[in-house]
Every structure is written in C-alpha cells, then in structure tokens.
Amino acid sequence: MHTAQSLQGFLFVGFSRPRKAAPLSWLIRKVMGTDFSHVFLQFTRNGQVLIFEASLFGVRYTQASEFKKSNITTHGFRLRSSRPLQDLINRTCDVIVGRKYGYKQLIGILLARMFSLKKNIVSKGLGRQVCSETVGFILESHFNIKFNKSLDLVDPLDIHNVLMRKLSK
C-alpha cells in the first residue's frame, strides 16, 4: 500500500484479490484468467490514504490499512493527478459513494465475457455498481480513458489492459 506522501500528485488504480478463499473471486479470476478479481482507486484525502471501491458492501471509502487486512494487491498503475483534478475526483466519488453493489450486473459481465455478448443482459444501470464500472467511470470522466464497450460490461481485466496500452506509449 502507498503512503500519503507517495500518493501526492497521483491516483493509484489497484488490482486485488481476497486474502481468504472466496468463491465469487475465484470465479471472476477463472473467467478472466488473472490473479486479480477486483479493481479499486487509492488516493490521499485530508491526510488519509483511502481506498474507493465498489464491493459486496456497496460503493464505499475504506482506510487503506483496513483494506490491506483482507485483500492482496497484486499490482496497479499510478496516474498523475493535479490538485484540481483530485478535488474533482473527490467530488465525483462523493456522489457515487453509498450506491448498492450490482450483483446481477456482475453475473451479466461474466456471461458477456464467457459468451461474447455485446450487452449486459441483466444490468440495472448506474443505480447499482460493480468495481470495474466505478473505476471505469472515474477513468473515462477525468482521465479521458475510453473503453470499447459500455461501462456495464467493463471488467477489471478490461481496465488493466486499457491502462497497460495507455501507459506503455
């Protein structure tokens, strides 16, 4: 995990998996063929290192130290973030926080990946969110990072691949 000082001027997009066995995480990793099942944002706010994520508990802020107790961060990307941009990201997160988790949407993402579907057949829209939709929305809105599909179909591997391409240029 990053310190407040190491995050100054950056937004960290992290990828993780649970420390303990979790069947849903295992299924996501199996379908994506990765060692991670989750994507989150990490940044400093008011001197605290926070994780912003959509998890089974809904869209929320978590202290990085608490997140680390139950998750293994496999890797991530640091995106340069000016103070005005970080303030804008904070305001956007404040609007999204508290939304419920999109269990049905997650099933739709997995089905779409498994059967090459172009639409999430069980998505309920922005009222409920999964981790990749939440992070994808921030990336599209504030970093002009585009995905080749609707955000309700974006999964953590899509975010990883887009960031790999963008940051390797």
* Planar angle of CA 120, 123, 128, nearest 5 degrees: 140
Q: What is the pTM of this model?
A: 0.93
Average pLDDT over residues 135-158: 94
Task: Kindly give, in sequence order, each residue whose CB lies less than 8 Å from that of residue 30, ignoring residues fewer than 6 positions away.
Answer: none
Q: Tokens 């309920």 — which residue?
A: 124
| Of the listed ranges 123-132, 140-149, 159-168, the one predicted with least confidence | 123-132
pLDDT band at 127 (very low <50, low <70, confident <90, very high): confident
* pLDDT single digits (tens) 102-112: 988 888 998 88
Q: What is the mean pLDDT of the chain?
A: 91
The token pair that represents 70 in the structure block = 């139950």
pLDDT band at 3 (very low <50, low <70, confident <90, very high): low
* pLDDT single digits (tens) 44-77: 998 899 999 999 989 999 999 999 999 999 999 9
In terms of residue numbers, what domain contains 141?
4-167
Strand 48-55: give its sheet, edge to edge.
58-63, 48-55, 38-45, 10-18, 71-80
Here the CATH number for the domain that contains residue 55 is 3.90.1720.10
Q: Nearest-CA neighbor of 34 among 166, 157, 136, 161? A: 157
Count of structural domains within the chain: 1
